[in-house]
Amino acid sequence: MSAVEASVRAEGRSSRWLGSVFAGNPGAVMSRSWLATRSTNWLVVASGFLEPVLYLLSLGVGLGTLIGTVDTGGRQVSYAAFIAPALLATSAMNGAVMDSTFNVFFKLNFGKLYEGMLATPLGPLDVALGEILMALLRGALYGLAFMGVMAAVGLTLSWTALLALPALLIIAFGFASLGMGVVSFMKTFTQLDWIFFVLLPMFLLSSTFFPITVYPPAVRIVIECLPLWHGIELVRGLTTGVITPALLWHVVYFAGMVAVGLVLATTRLKALFLK
Amino acid sequence: MTTATTNDFDGPSTDASAAALRAALRPRRFGALYVLEHRLRAARQAWTSFVFPALGTPVLYLFAMGLGLGSLIRQGSGSVDGVSYLVFVAPALLTAAAFQTASEEFIFPIRVGFKWNPIFFGMNAAPLSPGQIIDGNVLATSVRVVLNGLVYFALMALFGAVPSGWGVLSVLAALLTALSFGGPLCAYIASLDKEASQETLVLRFVVMPLTLFSGTYFPLALMPVYLQWIGWISPLWHGTQLARDLTYGAGEPGWLVAVHLAYLVATFVVGWQLARRIAGKRLNK
Amino acid sequence: MPTPVITATDLVKRFGDFDAVKGISFEVAPGESFGLLGPNGAGKSTTMRMVGAVSPRTGGELSILGLDPNRYGPEIRSQLGVVPQSDNLDVELPVLQNLIVYGRYFGLPRALVKQRAGELLEFAQLTDKAKTKIDDLSGGMKRRLTIARALINDPRILLLDEPTTGLDPQARHILWDRLFRLKEQGTTLVLTTHYMDEAEQLCDRLVVVDKGQIMAEGSPASLIRRYSSREVVELRFGSARNASAAEQLAGVGERIEVLPDRVLIYADDGERALEAVRGRGLEAITSLVRRSSLEDVFLRLTGRSLIE
């Protein structure tokens, strides 16, 4: 965060803007969140890890028998090795979006938690960053565990799979910050449903279960604009060892998503609480 | 009746009692329908949450899994169970959607009514009985499953996924799937009092595994034997097989069809009756 | 006496080993406003649930409108309006829909329910909130809506369990005003409360309940006459000195109660009693002469204060 602070301080004009929203203490928000997590049922926490594993077991074995191998970037890989990175990226997306939307929605609209936090020196950016970083930490733990499973059953085909972990973090960061920005506009439970309407098609269509080469070109272009497609392609390239310069574009895509999301979330929290 | 009351009288003894007997005739008979009416009115308040998934989910799944994944399977093993992958998977998607609807509808509205926004206690303070409250909720979910199922089926037909005219009956297989899982689930949720994230645990440790291991996306026989049993006890597998028999004539022996039917009906009836009993204990403590 | 609408004889309710209600008997006449006064946990709400035909009794006899609630639950409930202790309005439906849907539970025709719902919104002073969500109502508004909802079936008996607990003084007075109107129209009211002022305002007759038993019965005025003096002197000597001061006061007034924070002297003429205190050379930090209330009745009967 100090880098952000430093670069902003260099520009006197915007430093006042950030000064009123940021106290440089997102750690306090994170530790509160950690305490809250500790008091939840450990089975609930553990179950977050189970979901991608069960998907891999079911579809990797069942569909794998029907499909055999799949071509990815010119390399033939087993169906399980094809979907495993997609499940990994999807679970990073799901975890980040759930943490930053549903949980934040409750705190925004029902609990007086943020109101209390913002009555202290903490600013909206501290709150936003603290919540998002905590979501990342949880996501990283799940990701690490799933990658352990992948390695154990021989689905990590290259040493570059190690880089999938930082890749997951930036994917989750992008989704979490954008999610938090978007949820701050929502007022009712019905509006929360829209999150599913966005997540479900992305999950089903973004080369999760089959390559997008099956689509006509027009559909492909649409899919290639979706964040989950970038996430899956990035992780898949790393775990299968099909390294191309295109991977960098995926990283740039998420960096942009993080920037847009953070500005949006902070602006909204400021508008909501620091009237 | 004047002062001391005996409790073995058998009917109206005053004008007031006679009026009470008359007034309760309709709620005694139609109480479950009034609960249904309540659920429909509540649904109208949030109609987008019902209409959009009803239309969007089938299109997405049929397109992605039926066509997209189907084209991959055509390059691999060709056909599945003697038919194209789209025809194979479509009835399973229909029943899986009903299963999903049931798992949501028998968790949240039931938990809400008993605990989070205890409207069931309000209904019971009116002339409605606990059994009628459960029945009304079962009816409401049935209505939603059948309407969603009909939409799903129409879209299946549009995608060319239904060779047999009998296929429309697969909507009933979907209803049976929903109720067979929903009955016991309803009983369990009705029995909950403490807050311990039981809903999340049910969704993740029961609903999700059943969805993935019930032969939805591939024949159950392709699973290793130590995982096949999940399908055997899963209402979703029994319902899905029935739906496949109906849409493309999956060619199962008669006894197996009978097993599917008996299993679905029995689990529903047991769960449903249990739920009524638990509701009675809870509301009329 | 007209035929009672509620008759309870030796009514008992047991939960496992716990006796919530230990054999209470009372009658409520049509048009009467009847109260159960007692502290939290006295068995008031349990009694109300039995009268509301949603809780089977363990023993004794109970008749509502001449019917046994164990057999005629729906019939009895069709004639009751119930205002539970905590609001259970439907948060998924807006205000007007809450009334309509509730009316339908009674099997009433839609047109009738709609018409009544409009009238009741007027009665509850919520007409301009018809389309408001429940979550956006204040506590007092929710309470008034719950009462309006309880009236949708034009009940013969209205059961109110702690109707004003948790409301601010202004909201309480608005609510009392609405309940008075119902009383004037001849609705039978049965209410529980642990507020003595509420019992004095609303009840024609009441029973004082403690630990599942009835301690006394009568009109508020007659209970005060019987169990207390006309006036009370409240003296505060400071928490360390109350007990020792009380010893020196022996013989002043009819009776003396020592509470942790004050000493109460029961006397018909409070001012004279206060003079007698001063005559003994005792100077209280604060002193107050007031009329006796049901609080004093409860203290006399149980040795405890109503609100702990």
> Which pLDDT tens digit goes with each residue over A125-171?
888 888 888 888 888 888 899 999 999 999 999 999 999 999 999 99
| Per-residue model confidence (pLDDT) at position A111 | 64
Radius of gyration of the CA atoms of chain A, in A: 20
Parent domain of C283: 229-291
Report if residue A62 sits inside a domain. yes
Residue A121 predicted with pLDDT over 80: no
Q: Among partner residues C79, C88, C100, which is closest to B119 by beta-carbon distance?
A: C88
| Per-residue model confidence (pLDDT) at position A15 | 47
Mean pLDDT of A57-69: 93
Tracing tokens 């008091």 back to the chain, one arrives at A39
Residue A229 predicted with pLDDT over 90: yes
pLDDT (tens digit per residue) in A85-117: 999 999 999 989 988 888 888 777 766 678 777
C205 backbone dihedrals φ, ψ, rounded to 5°: -150, 150
Q: Among partner residues B13, B19, B30, which is closest to C79 by beta-carbon distance?
A: B19
| Per-residue model confidence (pLDDT) at position A11 | 44
Report if residue A16 sits inside a domain. no
CA distance C306 to A32: 40
Mean pLDDT of C258-264: 89
Buried b (16+ CB within 10 A) or exposed e, B198-212: bbbebbbbebbbbbb
Residue C154 and residue C179 in contact, taking contact as beta carbons nearer than 8 Å: no
Mean pLDDT of C18-46: 93
CATH of the domain at C265: 3.30.70
- Partners of A76 in beta bridges: A71
Residue A165, judged by CB atoms within 10 A of its CB (0-12, 13-18, 19+), counts as middle
Report if residue C188 sits inside a domain. yes
**Residue B116 carries which DSSP code?**
I
Tracing tokens 């949820």 back to the chain, one arrives at A183
CB contact under 8 A, B72 and A210: yes
Q: How many domains is chain C partitioned into structurally?
A: 2
| Per-residue model confidence (pLDDT) at position A217 | 93
Band the pLDDT of B12: cuts 50, 70, 90: low
Tracing tokens 């699973």 back to the chain, one arrives at B223
Which percentage of chain C shows pLDDT scores above 70? 99
CA distance C62 to C50: 8
| Per-residue model confidence (pLDDT) at position A134 | 86
- Tell me, yes or no, whether C109 and C207 share the same domain: yes
Residue B3 predicted with pLDDT over 60: no
| DSSP codes of every residue in C155-216 | -SEEEEESTTTT--HHHHHHHHHHHHHHHHTT-EEEEEES-HHHHHHH-SEEEEEETTEEEE
| Per-residue model confidence (pLDDT) at position B7 | 46
* ipTM rounded to 2 decimals: 0.88
- Tell me, yes or no, whether C136 and C251 share the same domain: no
Q: B218: which chain A residues are within 8 Å (Cβ-Cβ)?
A: 62-63, 65-66
Residue C208 predicted with pLDDT over 90: yes
CA distance B181 to B214: 13
| Per-residue model confidence (pLDDT) at position A227 | 96
Q: Which of C219, C245, C275 corresponds to the end of one domain?
A: C219
Look at residues B142, B147, B180, B146 and name the one whose alpha carbon lies nearest to residue B261. B180
Q: What single-letter amino acid sits at C302?
A: T
Parent domain of A235: 22-273
| Per-residue model confidence (pLDDT) at position A139 | 83
Report if residue A1 sits inside a domain. no
- Tell me, yes or no, whether C139 and C204 share the same domain: yes
Residue B87 and residue B163 in contact, taking contact as beta carbons nearer than 8 Å: yes
All structural domains of chain B with their residue ranges: 29-283
* Separation in Å, CA of B166 to nearest CA in chain C: 39
| Per-residue model confidence (pLDDT) at position C195 | 84
- Tell me, yes or no, whether C120 and C233 share the same domain: no
pLDDT (tens digit per residue) in B108-152: 999 999 988 999 999 999 999 999 999 999 999 999 999 999 999
| Per-residue model confidence (pLDDT) at position B6 | 44
Q: Among partner residues B68, B197, B213, which is closest to A210 by beta-carbon distance?
A: B68
- Tell me, yes or no, whether C72 and C196 share the same domain: yes
Mean pLDDT of A114-122: 76
Residue A184 predicted with pLDDT over 50: yes
Residue C36 predicted with pLDDT over 80: yes
| Per-residue model confidence (pLDDT) at position A7 | 47
* Separation in Å, CA of B212 to nearest CA in chain A: 6
Q: What is the side-by-side order of every strand in the sheet holding C263-267?
A: C255-258, C263-267, C231-236, C286-291
Residue B5 predicted with pLDDT over 60: no
Q: Which of C169, C200, C219 corresponds to the end of one domain?
A: C219
- Tell me, yes or no, whether C31 and C132 share the same domain: yes
* Separation in Å, CA of C32 to nearest CA in chain B: 16
Mean pLDDT of B220-225: 93
Mean pLDDT of C153-167: 91
Q: Among partner residues C75, C77, C93, which is closest to B126 by beta-carbon distance?
A: C77
Q: C77: which chain B residues are within 8 Å (Cβ-Cβ)?
A: 24, 124-127
Report if residue A135 sits inside a domain. yes
- Tell me, yes or no, whether C246 and C149 share the same domain: no
Report if residue C299 sits inside a domain. no
Distance of alpha carbon B77 from the chain centroid: 34
| Per-residue model confidence (pLDDT) at position A274 | 65
| Per-residue model confidence (pLDDT) at position A85 | 97
- Tell me, yes or no, whether C158 and C245 share the same domain: no
Would an 8 Å CB–CB cutoff place B212 in contact with chain C?
no
Q: Among partner residues B52, B218, B227, which is closest to A65 by beta-carbon distance?
A: B218
Report if residue C181 sits inside a domain. yes
pLDDT (tens digit per residue) in B18-67: 999 999 999 999 999 999 999 999 999 888 888 988 999 999 999 999 99
| DSSP codes of every residue in A211-257 | -GGGS-HHHHHHHHHSHHHHHHHHHHHHHHT---THHHHHHHHHHHH
H-assigned helices in A110-188: 113-118, 124-152, 164-183
CA distance A179 to A45: 21
> Subunits touching A (CB < 8 Å, at least 3 pairs)?
B
Q: How many domains is chain A partitioned into structurally?
A: 1
| Mean pLDDT score of chain A | 86
Residues 42-71 of C with CB under 8 A from B: 49, 52, 54-56, 61-63, 65-68, 70
Mean pLDDT of A14-31: 73
Indicate the helix (H) or strand (E) that contains C266: strand C263-267
Report if residue A4 sits inside a domain. no
- State the distance between the two ends of chain B, measured CA to CA, in whole angstroms: 27
Q: Treating both helix axes as pointing N-terminal to C-terminal, what angle do A189-205 and A227-240 enclose, rounded to 10 degrees?
A: 40
Q: A210: which chain B residues are within 8 Å (Cβ-Cβ)?
A: 68-69, 71-72
Mean pLDDT of B176-201: 94
CA distance B230 to B211: 10
| Per-residue model confidence (pLDDT) at position A20 | 67
Report if residue A104 sits inside a domain. yes
Strands C33-37 and C80-83: what pairing? unpaired
Q: Which of C197, C219, C241 corresponds to the end of one domain?
A: C219
Instruction: Count Cα neighbours of C217 within 13 Å in the Cβ-side half-sphere.
Output: 8
Cβ atoms within 10 Å, residue C279: 9
CB contact under 8 A, C54 and B125: yes
CA distance C94 to A24: 43
Select the more confidently predicted residue: B87 or C308: B87
Band the pLDDT of C201: cuts 50, 70, 90: confident
Residue C163 and residue C147 in contact, taking contact as beta carbons nearer than 8 Å: yes
Q: B2: which chain C residues are within 8 Å (Cβ-Cβ)?
A: 3-4
CA distance C62 to C26: 10
- Tell me, yes or no, whether C130 and C239 share the same domain: no
pLDDT (tens digit per residue) in B237-255: 999 999 999 999 888 999 9
Band the pLDDT of A199: cuts 50, 70, 90: very high
pLDDT (tens digit per residue) in C114-143: 999 999 999 999 999 999 989 899 999 999
